[in-house]
Amino acid sequence: MILTPLPGCENHKNLYLKQVPMDPDMNKYDLEHVTTAHPLMPAQELGDIYQRAWRHYYSDRHIETILRRAMATGFNPKKMADMLTLFSGAVRYESVHPLQVGVMRRRVPTQRRHGMPIESALTFYPRRLAEMASGAAAWASMAWRYRRILKRVMSDPDRLSYVDDALRAGEGDQAEFVHAYASQLTPMQRAAVRTLAAE
């Protein structure tokens, strides 16, 4: 997420006291827009890097890695594929953070920002229907692609023995710490603990 210093929060107060510029348009204070100056890069560059990070994380190659980790640690791979579809589509097709996506975005021509003209229903609704059809096709294509990746992962005879650097990260002292608190972990975290213990 990009830092969103909402008025009233500690981040906003600290930035205000340091006289760091903040965007006056409160409509941009969500999880995607750059609303405050960054000490090392311009707002456009930060926004571009943010979008590139999402695209890289939800690349087909990394989707396969995540699904392989799910299989190896005992997490339901079909549930993981569904979550990845929702999260990836939110960023790709809705341009919102996954925590802000819904089943369908409700838009009506009379709901406009202050000062913007009301669009004619004759132009609004045909365009909106085209957007919905295009969006549905894009979502369906991605879901189908992710299901093909899932099928490939599930048909791999070595799927349960998959290990990579992320799964090895808990070895040594970290593994001992994880084992000490195993009873307080979620089922997915406990599955990861069992994987570590078996190595």
Rounded CA-CA distance 19/17 in Å is: 5
Average pLDDT over residues 127-143: 94
From the centroid of its chain, how far is CA 157? 30
The pLDDT-based confidence of 113 (bands split at 50, 70, 90) is confident
- The four Cα atoms 184, 190, 196, 199 give a dihedral, to 10 degrees, of 130
Average confidence score pLDDT of the chain: 86
- The four Cα atoms 50, 55, 57, 60 give a dihedral, to 10 degrees, of 180
CA dihedral over 90, 96, 97, 101, signed as positive or negative: negative
Average pLDDT over residues 125-148: 95
pLDDT of residue 191: 63
Average pLDDT over residues 77-103: 90
- pLDDT one-digit tens code per residue, 93-107: 988 888 888 877 788
Judged against a pLDDT cut of 90, whether residue 194 lies above it is answered with no
- pLDDT one-digit tens code per residue, 175-193: 565 566 666 667 666 666 5
Tell me the pTM.
Answer: 0.73
Share of the chain above pLDDT 90, in %: 53
- pLDDT one-digit tens code per residue, 11-27: 999 999 999 999 999 88
Judged against a pLDDT cut of 80, whether residue 148 lies above it is answered with yes
- Sequence ranges of the domains in the chain: 10-56, 59-109+119-162, 163-199
